[in-house]
Amino acid sequence: MKLRYRQCLGKRVRAALFQQMEEEGLLPFAMSAWEKPTLKDWLALTATNSGAAVLLRCEDEAGRILGCGLFTRRPYRVWHFDFTAFRAGFSVAAQQARGGFAWMFRHRDCTSVMGVCPAPNRHAWRLAEACGFRILARLPEACFYARKGNYVDGVLVLCTREDLNTVMQRKKEVIMGFGGGGTPSIPEPTPVPKQEVQKPVTEAATAARQNQRDKAAKAAGIGGSIYTSPLNRADGNTRKTLLGQ
């Protein structure tokens, strides 16, 4: 899906995003640092007069709003982000976020993007992983988790330009490999187990087996009475054979 990003500068536009988050029940997750966020809090947070904040709106080709991302400048050219996917854009949430981060790296002096994921929020974790974020630290009771009605630990994560490029390159390779014009990877053939080969019996082994048979026969007391040839005994007067006694 082709996405477009627009900056939201006016108070009315910013207020409309707050109202949409509130209507869709997303406000507690979008502003997890507040126990009871208000429109006043949102407008103060998204004020862009000083250039310390950037509020992006993500749209599809028809102009439908799919999500928004708030970026706040921090020291060392790091930007802190809060991203919200609206219900219409749930299926492309990761794509929205990656595009927003790429926009920041292109249009702002930005070394990295950082954020805080509530530890129990699996959706936030999946999004962070899909964008190449790395874990920096665990922040005790940093986020208000609406489902539990109390504060939970937050996990501080960070993504550099290189991290994002690596993830986007992997996504591109997957697309090219499956119907996008590239060459799909061919799985390795299953190795065929080696057939067991019966080794020929050596002369030494044959002699050893015969020796064992001879010893067994002698122990049974039949070595002096059963012969296969009259030459087996030196005494000519007592020559016997098994077939002619």
In whole angstroms, give the CA distance from residue 194 to residue 109.
60
- DSSP per-residue codes, 112-125: EEEEEEETT-HHHH
For residue 78, the domain's CATH number is 3.40.630.30
In this predicted model, which residue has the larger pLDDT, 196 or 177? 196
Query: What is the span of the domain harbouring residue 28?
Result: 4-177
Residue 24: inside a domain: yes
Q: What is the mean pLDDT of residues 166-191?
A: 52
pTM passes above 0.75: no
Residue 12: inside a domain: yes
142-175 tens-digit pLDDT: 988 877 888 999 999 999 999 999 998 887 755 4
Residue 121: inside a domain: yes
Residue 85: inside a domain: yes
Q: What is the mean pLDDT of residues 213-221?
A: 67
Residue 13: inside a domain: yes
| 200: confidence class by pLDDT, cuts 50, 70, 90 | low
In this structure, of 150-154, 205-209, 241-245, the range with the lowest mean pLDDT score is: 241-245
Residue 122: inside a domain: yes
Q: What is the mean pLDDT of residues 43-71?
A: 92
Is 17 in contact with 37 (CB distance < 8 Å)?
no
Q: What is the mean pLDDT of residues 90-113?
A: 95
| 208: confidence class by pLDDT, cuts 50, 70, 90 | confident
Q: What is the pLDDT of residue 199?
A: 55
CA distances from 149 to 2, 29, 121, 138, 145 (A): 37, 12, 13, 20, 6
Q: Domain total for the chain?
A: 1
In this structure, of 14-18, 40-44, 137-141, 233-237, the range with the lowest mean pLDDT score is: 233-237
In whole angstroms, give the CA distance from residue 108 to residue 54.
10
Residue 58: inside a domain: yes
In this predicted model, which residue has the larger pLDDT, 178 or 129? 129
**CB neighbours of 80 closer than 8 A, spacing ≥ 6?**
71, 72, 73, 74, 113, 114, 115
Q: What is the pLDDT of residue 188?
A: 42
At CA 87, angle to CA 147 and CA 10, rounded to 5?
Answer: 100
Residue 201: inside a domain: no
